[in-house]
Structure 1
Amino acid sequence: MGNTYVIVAETKDGRLRQVSLEAVQAAALASHEEDQRIALLLGHQLKEAADQLALYAEVIMIDHPDLAAYQAETYFAALIQALEPLKPHAVFFGHTAIGRDLAPQLAAHLSAGQISDVTAISDTGEAITYTRPLYAGKAFENRQFNSSPQVITIRPNNIAPAQPADTPSSITELSYTPSTLLRSAIQEVVSKSAGRIDLTEAKVVVSGGRGVKSKAGFQPLQELADVLQGAVGASRGACDAGYCDYSLQIGQTGKVVTPEIYIACGISGAIQHLAGMSQSRIIIAINKDPEAPIFKIADYGIVGDLFEVVPILTEEFRKLLVTN
């Protein structure tokens, strides 16, 4: 019998998050055929998500009203209750707000090593190597564990998601005993949507900087993002200016994104912003200033007024998509 690898899956608005399927694939890359891979699902009203997840791995879930909204203490208590009998060799999380919160707690609890923000996994034959970026993506390091248990978080949009099986695996529901040692309780949940598509998992991101000039300036960017089935992001400068909500912020103090296409509109390219998007597959920059630093990392650059360029791009992409 091999080792047990656990993937802590996440849902958003009742649906399974894409990064959870990427974490399933990460566990497959790090394990061997004889090993057991189990997906753990915590939350409330999980049937639909559990049925979907069962096509990718054996599922264990804890479905309880106390877990309807994420709260560190309740989720951690449920996580420990589920993991104790499994004695996992490794536990995988998405490098999300929840994953970044739970993973270090779990590593400390298990006295385990942790590698965070993993973008690639390879098997050298002697050990599994995990690659992660450093210095705002300017360098990468390869790390290996020399003991177990192990805790790993996976950066969204870097590891291809697992492929579904023809038949679903088993789903086991565990009971949950609420902790009596909670020091805080959720009284109200106020949600601010960062957009129609999850920004960290979007394949296309259209971002605006101070060059959008106003809240209304983001409307052309949203139209382009809608045509491309992408999400809208922003630089900190645009957020600080009050043009958009901070939930859209991309950069060193915001979200880190790795889309297939990143379109930077009116963004100068400060190092703090580059830290959040420099690993995008294709970077397209639109800026009136030909000397803007963003052009140094862009694959394609358009020198021009974004309010003239973006509507033209939107219309041309719309024509192409209708034709195809």
Structure 2
Amino acid sequence: MESNPKKNILPYPNGEAIEDDAGDNVMAWTVGDDRSGERIDKHVTEALADETVSRSQVQDWIRQGAVTVGGAPVKPNAKVAAGDEIVVRFAEPEPIEAQPEDIPLNVVYEDSDVIVINKPRGMVVHPAVGHSSGTVVNALLYHCKDLSGINGMMRPGIVHRIDKDTSGLLMAAKNDLAHASLAGQLKAHTVVRRYTALVYGKVPHDKGTIDAPIGRAKDDRKMFAVTDRNSKHAVTHFTVIERFEDYTVVELRLETGRTHQIRVHLKYIGHPIVGDPMYGGRSGRTLGMVGQALHAGVLGFVHPRTGEALEFNASLPQDMEDALHILRSR
């Protein structure tokens, strides 16, 4: 069920979403058969996984009466039953407006509608908890002055993201017309996004598709994993570019765009990215890598105003090139 500006509705797997008109900051759903017997605090925390809510925060809401079951407040250790109507009312924090900052940008393309940059590894795309400044958005606000407002004051112009630890091409919209067009292309899977990664191990197949759903990891909410529980459809296509004794260079094409998708999918097939701080398990320093070896090298889309097909390329960062040179010289 689609969300409504006045009703934030969260469908829960195998449970029927219900609607609630109590206010803007409401999420509501009906407990499915497979969730019966769960503690209410655990159940709500997992249902709100996409909101990055902690279990202790949920327990506070329950004690404050902000979580109801069948219209009545409950205790954090109460058990839910199939058919229970869960309603969560929570206060939304006051929005903080991102500020312009004079941060250099590697601009690959720019006109009055769109800007494409080559983002360095280590740079966060938009402000969030723990990263209120020094982001791509802060730099864009200084450089452009004009960005679309569809995503609000914290993410103006941002149509898609790449991870902090990933380098490469990122597009942003300068007005709402451009934003709507680019977002529509992403939703229709017509945007070309190709990445290059150096991974551990020798990938046996020359080409392949990883079709595996991704959701938050059960034991660490900051991480994601392939799981059938509270997950989203995710598809990544790969082609082997070069093989070494213990490493492989692969090109990856995204069909969907889930958080950490490439990193999670490559770990899932047993070939994590070299230097990945969350999913790699090992440092890439033996190859001179100072971060993860994942680069968004190709980005293509249809210009939102002219209809022209555009495609851009960005060379690998120097430490990835150096790592490949080391492997080729062995």
Q: TM-score, normalised by structure 2?
A: 0.25
Structure having greater relative contact order (Cα 8 Å, sep ≥ 6): 1
* Greater fraction of residues in helix: 1
Q: TM-score, normalised by structure 1?
A: 0.25
